[in-house]
Amino acid sequence: MTEHSHRPIGVAVLGMGNVGAEVVRILLQNADDLQARVGAPIEIRGIAVADLGKARACATSLLTDDPAALVKRPDVDIVVELIGGIDVPRTLIASALEHGKSVVTANKALLADYTGELATLAADAKVDLYFEASVAGAIPVIRPLMQSLAGDTVQRVAGIVNGTTNFILSAMDADGEDYDVVLAEAGRLGYAEADPTADVEGYDAAAKAAILASIAFHSRVTAGDVHREGISSITAADLASAATLDCTIKLLSICERIVDSAGRQRISARVYPALVPLTHPLASVNGAFNAVVVEAENAGRLMFYGQGAGGAPTASAVLGDLVMAARNKVHGGRGPLESTYASLPIAPMGDVNTRYYVSMKVADRPGVLATVAGEFSARNVSIATVRQEGAEENARLIVVTHRAPDSALSETVDALTELDSVLSVSSVLRLEGTDD
């Protein structure tokens, strides 16, 4: 159906970085298509930038360094927030919503902690708050979870949602290089920031896990609820070891519905590097690509794969949200907002059942395996496989467990480090993506 003419929809863009510049380019370049899809022209009312003097590929008359005024303008219907950070965009988005503007943002750090506050403002103003670009770039994940699976019961979301760490781990796996070497290379190629902490220590992946868990389980999960471990201690030896077990190592964001023996439901949200069998679909997601696997009661296992970062792919997700928000301005109605009715509590990491991979240097003498195995069995942890490698000062023991409460596993590792026959525990990683 061709839509009939409607007054133009005014858009304010906050931030003209990598993504902002692409959003502006597409808005101008595809104006005719976007108008046909929305049922009204989309017009940029202003672009807020920090430095008015910097050369940009857009009309300078649109530029402003007063975003607070821009988001309140009566001729602005939708605000696209691409500034990043927390405090400044939080205030701007709140102001925009209070003034009846719909908001599209890619800001995962902000959303991970303040979706509740912002969604309440959006609900009061009967406007949209969309954030498809906040998780996994161009890959549609938020909308499928919120809408396509709205009639299903999601059991688990597990994904590779940070391109920097996936680039680093993929390169370490492919080249056998150590972490520091590959991190430096990632920085040179533009895959890692000057300060890579947010990526390599898992903060970015944890914010995304919080967003995914909130949506998947209709509960409020914030970044602080997410158990988080980074990749900076992963070594070339770990990847080599993983390979001998037909696994690779991936930084996973995992959101799980956990049902205890009394039938009480809780949420586990966690980020850590884990061994993943090479046969698992996430094992072959390499480089800066992202993928999210969703398991739902009726849909079964779904996988979404694509580019998780970059200006144009992220802009594609922003534009999708923008077109839908604009359509709602034209036709009435609005998309679903935060849904927290289930209010499931967060399970502490210790209560989550996981599998451990433990690599240790051991004394090369009889009885060591029995002693080590004794520590596992003392805590009811069942061992799946043991491999003994090397001899004399290079003697190593590699243990892979069956599923057990994470607390029992970590207590076992603590006990192992106390043993005389265990010289050092060189690596402890979890194993994910197996059925048993």
> Residues comprising the binding site for NADP(+)?
14-21
Which token pair is 282?
């996430």
For residue 338, state whether it binds a copy of itself (rule: CB under 8 A): yes
- Active-site residue among 208, 250, 329, 361? 208
Task: Decide: is 265 part of the binding site for a copy of itself (CB under 8 A).
Answer: no
3-state secondary structure at position 308: coil
Q: Quick one: 340 or 410, whose CB is closer to a copy of itself?
A: 340
- Whole-angstrom Cα distance, residue 67 to residue 203? 27
Least distance (Å) from a copy of itself to the CB of residue 141? 9
* 11 vs 397, beta carbon nearer a copy of itself: 11
Q: Compute the half-sphere exposure of residue 187: CA atoms within 13 Å on the CB side of its CA.
A: 12
Of positions 62, 183, 317, 372, contacts a copy of itself by CB under 8 A: 317
Rg of the chain (C-alpha set):
24
Residue with the two structure tokens 């907002």: 337
User: Judged by CB, which is closer to a copy of itself: 42, or 362?
Assistant: 42
CA of 296: how far to CAs of 134, 240, 259, 356, 369, in Å? 22, 34, 15, 25, 41
Q: Is residue 235 involved in binding a copy of itself (CB under 8 A)? A: no
Most distant CA atoms of the chain, gap in Å: 84
d(CA 435, CA 97): 45
Residue list for the binding site: 14-21, 108, 193
Q: Give 289's strand partners.
A: 307
Q: How far apart are CA 374 and CA 378, in angstroms?
A: 6
Q: Which is nearer to a copy of itself, 61 or 298 (CB)?
A: 298
Please give the annotated binding residues for L-homoserine, written as ranges: 193
Per-residue tokens: 168: 């680093």
Pair of tokens at residue 391:
């001899």
The pair of structure tokens assigned to 52 is 């008015």
- Residues 132-171 as x/- pattern, contact with a copy of itself by CB under 8 A: x-----xxx--xx--xxxxxxx------------------
Residue 413 neighbours by CB under 8 Å, 6+ apart: 356, 358, 425, 428
Rule CB under 8 A: choose which of 181, 245, 299, 386 binds a copy of itself.
Answer: 299
Q: For residue 320, what are the contacts with CB-CB under 8 A and spacing of at least 6?
A: 132, 140, 143
The backbone region for 176, taken as left when phi is positive above 0, alpha when psi lies in -120 to 50, beta otherwise, is left
Interacting stretch for a copy of itself, rule CB under 8 A, among 5-13, 223-231, 293-301, 371-379? 293-301
* 302 binds a copy of itself, rule: CB under 8 A: yes
The enclosing H or E element of 387 equals strand 383-389
Of residues 281 and 348, the one with the C-beta less far from a copy of itself: 281
Closer of 149 and 182 to a copy of itself (Cβ): 149
Of 56, 73, 218, 361, the residue at the interface with a copy of itself (CB under 8 A) is 218
Fill in the per-residue mask, 16 to 55: x = in contact with a copy of itself (CB under 8 A), - = not in contact.
------x---x---x--xx-xx------------------
Beta-strand relationship, 422-431 and 404-405:
unpaired
Shortest separation between residue 364's beta carbon and a copy of itself, angstroms: 43
The DSSP letter of residue 39 is: T
Q: How far is the CB of 9 from a copy of itself (least distance, A)?
A: 13
Interactions with a copy of itself, residue window 340-359 (CB under 8 A): 340-342
Assess 433 for contact with a copy of itself (CB under 8 A).
Answer: no
Nearest to 208 by CA among 274, 143, 298, 131: 131
Least Å distance, CB 148 to a copy of itself, is 4
Cα–Cα distances (Å) from 383 to 176, 236, 379, in that order, read: 28, 25, 11
Size of residue set near a copy of itself by CB under 8 A: 64
User: Is residue 66 helix, strand or coil?
Assistant: coil
Footprint of a copy of itself on 68-127 (CB under 8 A): 119-120, 123
Closer of 132 and 204 to a copy of itself (Cβ) = 132
Is-catalytic flag, 250?
no
Q: How far is the CB of 92 from a copy of itself (least distance, A)?
A: 22
State in angstroms the smallest separation of the CB of 435 from a copy of itself: 17
Name the pairing type of β-strands 265-277 and 227-228.
parallel
The CB-side HSE value for 251 (13 A sphere, CA atoms) comes to 34
Quick one: which of 246, 331, 382, 390 contacts a copy of itself (CB under 8 A)? Answer: 331
261 binds a copy of itself (CB under 8 A): no
Enzyme catalytic residues: 208
Q: Which residues here bind a copy of itself, judged by CB under 8 A? A: 1-2, 22, 26, 30, 33-34, 36-37, 119-120, 123, 132, 138-140, 143-144, 147-153, 218, 281, 296-307, 312-313, 315-324, 327-328, 331-334, 336-342
